[in-house]
Structure 1
Amino acid sequence: MGLLAAVGQHDDLLRAPAAAGASGTNLLPFAALTAGGVLVAGLAARFGRRRRDFGSSADRATFETLHTASLAGPSFREGLTESGAQRAARHLRALLGTPAIALTDAAGRCLAWDGLGARHAADAHAHAAGVLATGRSAVVSGDAVAPGATARCDDLTCPLRAVVVAPVVSGDTVVGALLAYGGLPSAGLVRATDEVARFVSSQVELAEVDRSRTRAMEAELRALRAQISPHFIYNSLAAIASFVRTDPERARELLLEFADFTRYAFRRGGEFTTLADELSNVERYLRLEKARFGERLQISLLVAPEVLSVAVPFLVVQPLVENAVRHGLEGRVGTGHVTITAEDAGAEALLAVEDDGVGSDPDVVRAALSGESSADSVGLGNVDARLRQVYGDAHGLVVETAPGAGTRVSFRVPKYAPGVTAR
């Protein structure tokens, strides 16, 4: 009988007329309660079976191991640090199932201890010394360690009689050690300690890769600023100077725009910003360029409100606009148009900068994107490299151009991407 049918039946019982007399009337609520109690108990048993039905014991053990590892992994995002080691220690001990574990750095300093016998933490550096020097796992007990620092102690009830030590490695460098303390170690514990140390090593290496990527992006950004600033600063100041006597108020407004632009371009902070902030900076840039070109430069800005909050790499749109103005319009006779679009494309935002200028040879653009050309294309290769670093090769620049046919540069960014947060 289905749940709804059962409930309906109980309602009928409760609404039944009391024709059977006083005794019958008293029995109806009891009958309904009893039936309801059986129903609830049945449902609880069924849902309880579902919760416990996780598969075989091997499936449950696999899940528990992977879940515990997933809890430990994020603690090493900054590398093998004291705070990260302390957060991860209890999860690593759960993986090994030992009475205590310790993590040391490359110098043998104990970063974290979890479990029994915390007084032994002072001896962790001596227990790990041989492994840190050789990079090979070892079992330490009794006289196998430096005098005065043994894995055993005088307390006969202490369960820490030996320690399995495995190196934590980043690249080819030993950066620390994992120590698993307990009784007489088994071959299984030695293998398990090695595997957990390899897991920690992989997390530490990922943190180093992330730091290297960040350093590379910061270097690219510094290079971009150095490349843009001479052109832009010279041209902007020249345009402002032309208004100082003829239109002082206009000169003042342009100076404020110039100050806001440079403050944004040379700010310190995260490597990502919102598309709204990036486009605001583009508008400042274009107002300054309009002071130079006047009516020769026409701008269209078409932006879907849904994408304004999307996080994008810092200074990823303005270089493309500057490239369109400088290389697309400076050599053009008459009025030039630059169109900037930001469209909502489901899980992504599609951005494009298009001009109807003189265009370019596709081979020249290809060389600029690959870094093989010294052609003065402002930031094209730089922006392409940073997009690929952050989102992957599928999100690099797409350039459509031909001599005399103008240029369209577009790229796609996910609305949400791991590690991409505007600051």
Structure 2
Amino acid sequence: MISRLRPWRRTHLGTEADRATFRTLHTASLAAPALREGLTEASAERSLRHLRTLLGTPSAALTDTDRVLAWAGLGHHHAAEVERAIADLTDDASTRMVRADACEDGGCPVGELVISPLVVEEVLVGSLVVGAPTATGSLVRAANEVAAWVSGQLELASLDDSRTALMEAEVRALRAQISPHFIYNSLGAIASFVRTDPDRARELLLEFADFTRYSFRSHGAYTTLAEELRSVERYLLLEQARFGDRLKVVLKIAPEVLPVAIPFLCIQPLVENAVRHGLEASVDKADGVGQISITARDLGQECVIEVEDDGAGEDPERVRRALAGDATMDSVGLGNVDARLRNAYGDDHGLVVETAPGAGTKVVVRVPKFAPGVHA
């Protein structure tokens, strides 16, 4: 039997109300990205035409607390009236209606202005202004709803800014914990080669300069895994200059995860902890040998990074206290790294530490390959 395939025909899905809801949500989604950058002239300009489409009015404007940032539609000559009207708005201001001055242009459609405050964390940051022939009750309600939605987007932008500032502060705190002990030992190791192997001393000095330049760079809360691992390799080269063949390093890195964005300085402190607390006591001995392994695997939507040492291990209770941010624990930013990972990706992506006295330590980091707001 031969069955015939019926040609596909485009049909409208849903009721008119469903389609209207979709159009509204779609228009709002077009305005959201700009508003998530905060309230500026550029973001107001990019979002305002979509807000005006939502309201279906002849004109709309966005202001800060002093001036009009952007105007869409007709009636721009009323901007001065708007600025006079917003001059005395307060944090607890309510929506107000202002009759527009008579226009020389008899065809101006702006007879009244509806001014709805934009409030972020109970602080007035600006207003949404709607111009129409008359300020009907339905228009006022619509303006209030859109203003409340805009305020919500601006509040999310403020939270993003706060999160970024917090992460930058945490990175500064972590830098302060970079071991002076390591710096002194590295310089000592370099100095020991100055007479016996000047070329090696020069190479190590360049590695040390690159390591410190990366660790103290002043831009970006995120980096790529490739950049972080380059800094880790420099750190280990400097430690191997001190310990020689007693410190073994094994790297197993999947090339496809190298471009993944990760929080700045989230792997390097784990490696420093592994050397300093896991291996240093044993490799300091003349016949002591220790190994640190770093692996990075592609696991579907995630990148899994593991830092493992075969050293002394640790009491799990002390690790829990370090992860909780106990300042009395002598660890290089373990709680700091854990907090920044959770802040960036959620509580499911904190550090996982497997350890016991005499059994070595393994720290596992799971990061999504793609996450909102995370980019190097």
Written as runs of structure 1 = structure 2, the 5 A alignment for 1:176-325 is 176-228=126-178, 230-325=180-275
Query: Which position in structure 1 is the counterpart of 2:342?
Result: 388
Measured on the aligned residues, the alpha-carbon RMSD in Å equals 1.9
Distance 1:124 1:200 in 2: 19
Aligned pairs for 1:45-84 within 5 A: 47-48=9-10, 50=11, 53-84=12-43
2:354 aligns to what?
Answer: 400
CA distance in 2, matches of 1:3, 1:361: 71
**Equivalent-residue separation in structure 2 for 1:409 and 1:111 (angstroms):** 50
- Looking at secondary structure, tell me which structure has more helix per residue: 1
Q: CA deviation at 1:5?
A: 7.7
CA distance in 1, matches of 2:228, 2:318: 27
Aligned counterpart, 1:24: none
Structure 2 residue 53 is the aligned partner of structure 1 residue 94: yes
- Cross-structure match for 1:418: 372
Shift of 1:131: 3.9
Contact kept, 8 Å, 2:349 with 2:366, in 1: the verdict is yes
Query: Quick check: 2:353–2:361 contact (8 Å CA) kept in 1?
Result: yes
CA distance in 2, matches of 1:152, 1:235: 79
Would the aligned equivalents of 2:117 and 2:128 in 1 still touch at CA under 8 Å? yes
Residue identity matched to 2:72: D
How many Å apart are 1:54 and its aligned residue? 2.7
Taking the aligned partners of 1:421 and 1:134, their CA distance within structure 2 comes to 38
- Aligned equivalent of 1:365, options 319, 333, 350: 319
Q: Which segments of 5 or more consecutive residues in structure 2 lack a partner in the other structure?
A: none
Would the aligned equivalents of 2:91 and 2:122 in 1 still touch at CA under 8 Å?
A: no
2:110 is equivalent to residue 110 of structure 1: no
Structure 1 unaligned runs (5+)? 7-42, 142-149
* TM norm structure 1: 0.84
| Contact 2:91–2:119 (8 Å) recurs in 1 | no
Tell me how many residue pairs correspond in the alignment.
372
Normalising by structure 2, report the TM-score.
0.94
- Give the Å deviation of 1:279: 1.1
Q: Distance in 2 between matches of 1:320 and 1:168?
A: 44
Q: Does 1:335 align with 2:289?
A: yes
Whether 2:97 is the aligned partner of 1:139: answer: yes
Matched residue type, 1:359: G
Measured against aligned partners, the alpha-carbon deviations of 1:190-214 in whole angstroms (never above 9, x if no partner) come to 1110110011101111111111111
Q: Report which of the two structures shows the higher radius of gyration computed on alpha carbons.
A: 1
Q: Matched residue of 1:140: which SS? A: strand
In structure 2, what residue type is equivalent to 1:277?
Answer: E
Q: Which amino acid aligns with 2:94?
A: R
Q: Distance in 1 between matches of 2:5 and 2:321?
A: 73
The 1:328–1:156 alpha-carbon spacing in structure 2 relative to 1, beyond 3 Å, is: same
